[in-house]
Structure 1
Amino acid sequence: MLNSLRNNIVVHRPNQLSRQWAQRIVNRYAANAKVSEVDVQSVNIGTSTRLRLTVKHDAMGIVPSRWFVKTPSLAIKSRAITAIPRLLHKEVHFYNSLSHGTPVNLPQILAAQSLLGRGTTLVMTDLDELGYRPGLTADALSLEQARRVVEKLAGFHAHYWDNAGLLKTHRWLNGFSHNVENHMGTLLAVPLMRRGLERAGSLVPSKLHRSALHYAADRRRITKILATGVQTLVHHDCHPGNLFWNQAEPGFLDWQLVRMGEGISDLAYFLATSLKPESRRTHEKQLLELYLASLTEHGIGGLDEEVYYRRYRAHLVYPFEAMIVTLAIGGMMEHNSNLELIARASAAIDDHDSYAALAL
């Protein structure tokens, strides 16, 4: 029991981020170091509670002094949506069991723990400490930035391409969390889509409303259609706010929705949310070609560009749904940023007649 207490780093509220709590983390890296102070710099509540800390200790050079902490959301609505399917628990699983072999840049994790029935806490080095720039949700990426992300996504997808054994080894990927998330998504799809469309107003052309509601009503079947391609590990939430930058090199944050899926879905989500519509229209064809060429360079053969273009069109429905549902629930994303991503994703499905593409 004593050893369990010494290793427990799970917290539920900001006032539990004590010197003794920080000491348990520092002890993992420097057994004789002492923590003298913990100062909570900021608290941000969205899909999770995100806290930035300054930790004073005498293990400089071994342990960073600025930390970033994620716990389940303190907002009741956001907590209900994310805690029931245990999304933060899933992110902790990813960092503890898959991150070491993942060929993309990730944040530096100091501690990650999930205890059934007791909570989940993720502690990482603050990006500022490492000189990295965190992405902002409404960032509009340049062509060169988009190219770098697309290349990274292709390498990531190629690494896990058609790896059926991954689900046997890591059943949590598409297990309880995935099933509960799908069930909740199907159950709430129509009321949340309707509310989100109402709140979005003129940002979503009225001609898309009926198709969006038909999609919501038929979500379970459509989700299965969108999962019929070659399976790989996907991020599933690849918008600008879940990126960070080490100069020109992108890294990927927030792995709460990681799962097995079709790689092109990550590309659709990324392009629909990360580029202004005019930039996406100009560059998306070459970015899709870059994605397929990068997969080929990583040894993935038999890629039909026409097939992947059709799949890309169809997968654009998900980032639109995700942003509309986020708006419908409220409090999960900064409001103006949410509206901006809705405008971008709405333009993408309109440009590509994505609901019609589902029939393909």
Structure 2
Amino acid sequence: MSFPTSPDAMTPAWLAERLGQDARALRGFVATPVGTGQMCDSFRLALDWIEEVDAPASVVAKCPSHDEASRNIAKLTGTYVKEVSWYRELAAGSGVATPHCYHADIAADDVDFILILSDVAPARQGDQLAGIGLTGLLPCIDAAADLHALMWNDPRLAALPWLSRDNGDLIRNLFPQFYLGFRERYATRLGPELLDLGAGIVDRLDAYLAREPAARTIVHGDLRIDNILFAPDGERCWLVDWQTLGRGSGASDLAYLVGTSIADPFERAAADRPAFDHWIAALCAKGIETDAEGLWTDYRIGALSGYFMAVFASMSVERTARGDEMFAVMAERPARQALALGSLDLL
């Protein structure tokens, strides 16, 4: 392999060249872990330049997870390939608020990779456990609309192999098993009606996976505030963690964002339609013609996606105390959303 996959394996010369500088310009760097991601390991690299140069004072390096289970599921689902490909092929000209990528590389095994990204500090990662209200989500909804407008009903959706990859058979095989493990793990944390929702998804899994949305576009697939960086004033945000990119309904992405973010079920129930209407308006402002009625149905079914991801991810990645609670919240909030919206009945 011709590139490092962790800060310990990087040299100042290699890093300086990736940042467009002379190999001798960087004296050294200090790596500090950042973020709470469980599919990858991320580090802030504080850079010690020998003299003043037109280069950043720090960058973020994203690397494969140290956890074998996380690496295995990444290989099976192509998650590292998707993120590297996003930065290589689409991000720069997308108009989507996301960190600038200085360097992206991935090995033939689809596991060993490296990303060197701009550090957007003092922006901070959202806190999934604390949640956020609709007002705080509005910049995220605008950013989501930018992403969804990028390839709305676009033929390129089928032309990019890393984006059009079909994991349906893998999901059909794994999800029912994962649900049993999830139900056992969270038997005392989640109410029976919330756990039973997963059984309903298992029963309707083929219909859920085969359903055609009202409009097809590029979707983030894990659009929640843990995967969003917020400016200190909350007026701007950057979308990160592009490992679950795929094709689907942008309305499902939106339902996932709203359902996983708003902690209080009554506040969330009052926010579903205003959030949806804000998203539709943002798309229309970009010249996208929308079928609001069909997309609202996509939104209602999309409420299942947060619960679905909680089951699948919790049984796939390294287990941590924060992760256990995060996945419980990821299941609990969207489950209440899906029950309120009658999501299973639509399948």
TM-score over 0.5 for the pair:
yes
Specify whether residues 351 and 41 from structure 1 end up closer, same or farther in structure 2 by C-alpha distance, changes over 3 A only. same
Specify the alignment match of 1:116 in structure 2.
108
Alpha-carbon distance between aligned partners in 2 of 1:308 and 1:60, rounded to the nearest angstrom? 52
Specify the alignment match of 1:315 in structure 2.
302
**Structure 1 range deviating more: 152-161 or 285-294:** 152-161
Specify the alignment match of 1:233 in structure 2.
218
Specify the alignment match of 1:173 in structure 2.
163
Report the residue type matching 1:343 in the other structure. E
Shift of 1:258: 1.2
Report the residue type matching 1:121 in the other structure. I
Specify whether residues 210 and 110 from structure 1 end up closer, same or farther in structure 2 by C-alpha distance, changes over 3 A only. same
* Pairing partner for 1:201 from 187, 205, 209: 187
* Pairing partner for 2:333 from 337, 340, 344: 344
**Structure 1 range deviating more: 251-260 or 319-328:** 319-328
Residue 146 of structure 1 aligns to a residue whose secondary structure is helix
Q: Is the 8 A contact 1:17 1:38 kept in 2?
A: no
Specify the alignment match of 1:256 in structure 2.
243
Q: Is the 8 A contact 1:186 1:219 kept in 2?
A: yes
Residue 110 of structure 1 aligns to a residue whose secondary structure is strand
Shift of 1:257: 1.1
Shift of 1:45: 6.7
Specify the alignment match of 1:186 in structure 2.
172
Please list every run of at least 4 consecutive aligned residues from structure 1 whose deviation after the TM superposition is greater than 4 angstroms: none
Report the residue type matching 1:244 in the other structure. L
Q: Is the 8 A contact 1:22 1:38 kept in 2?
A: no
Normalized against structure 2, the TM-score is what? 0.89
Residue 255 of structure 1 aligns to a residue whose secondary structure is coil
**Structure 1 range deviating more: 58-67 or 70-79:** 58-67
Q: Quick check: 1:83 aligned with 2:72?
A: no
User: What are the equivalent positions in structure 2 for 1:56-205 lying under 5 Å apart?
Assistant: 56-58=48-50, 60-117=52-109, 119-128=112-121, 131-168=122-159, 170-175=160-165, 179=166, 181-205=167-191
Residue 198 of structure 2 aligns to a residue whose secondary structure is helix
Q: Is the 8 A contact 1:272 1:348 kept in 2?
A: yes
Specify the alignment match of 2:230 in structure 1.
245
Shift of 1:309: 2.3
Specify the alignment match of 2:33 in structure 1.
42
Specify whether residues 290 and 336 from structure 1 end up closer, same or farther in structure 2 by C-alpha distance, changes over 3 A only. same
Q: Is the 8 A contact 2:25 2:50 kept in 1?
A: yes
Shift of 1:193: 0.9
* Pairing partner for 2:292 from 304, 307, 316: 304
Q: Quick check: 1:224 aligned with 2:213?
A: no
- Percent same amino acid among aligned pairs? 19
Q: Is the 8 A contact 1:189 1:216 kept in 2?
A: yes
Alpha-carbon distance between aligned partners in 2 of 1:203 and 1:303, rounded to the nearest angstrom? 39
Report the residue type matching 2:162 in the other structure. W
Specify the alignment match of 1:290 in structure 2.
278
Unaligned runs of 5+ in 2: none
Specify whether residues 60 and 213 from structure 1 end up closer, same or farther in structure 2 by C-alpha distance, changes over 3 A only. farther
Normalized against structure 1, the TM-score is what? 0.86
User: What are the equivalent positions in structure 2 for 1:2-21 lying under 5 Å apart?
Assistant: 8-11=2-5, 13-21=6-14
Alpha-carbon distance between aligned partners in 2 of 1:166 and 1:327, rounded to the nearest angstrom? 28
**What are the superposed Cα offsets for residues 109-168 of structure 1, whole Å, 9 maximum, x if unpaired?**
22111121372111112332xx32222333422322222222232233223211113432
Q: Is the 8 A contact 2:260 2:330 kept in 1?
A: yes
Q: Is the 8 A contact 1:234 1:258 kept in 2?
A: yes
Specify whether residues 60 and 115 from structure 1 end up closer, same or farther in structure 2 by C-alpha distance, changes over 3 A only. farther
Specify whether residues 45 and 166 from structure 1 end up closer, same or farther in structure 2 by C-alpha distance, changes over 3 A only. closer
Shift of 1:238: 0.2
Shift of 1:98: 0.4
Alpha-carbon distance between aligned partners in 2 of 1:184 and 1:155, rounded to the nearest angstrom? 30
**What are the superposed Cα offsets for residues 209-260 of structure 1, whole Å, 9 maximum, x if unpaired?**
44422422542442111x4331111111100011112331121001111122
Specify the alignment match of 1:331 in structure 2.
318
Specify whether residues 207 and 142 from structure 1 end up closer, same or farther in structure 2 by C-alpha distance, changes over 3 A only. closer
**Structure 1 range deviating more: 314-323 or 210-219:** 210-219
Unaligned runs of 5+ in 1: none
Shift of 1:14: 4.5
Shift of 1:188: 0.8
Alpha-carbon distance between aligned partners in 2 of 1:238 and 1:97, rounded to the nearest angstrom? 20
Q: Is the 8 A contact 1:203 1:343 kept in 2?
A: no
Residue 98 of structure 1 aligns to a residue whose secondary structure is helix
Report the residue type matching 2:178 in the other structure. L
Q: Is the 8 A contact 1:40 1:52 kept in 2?
A: yes
Q: Is the 8 A contact 2:4 2:10 kept in 1?
A: no
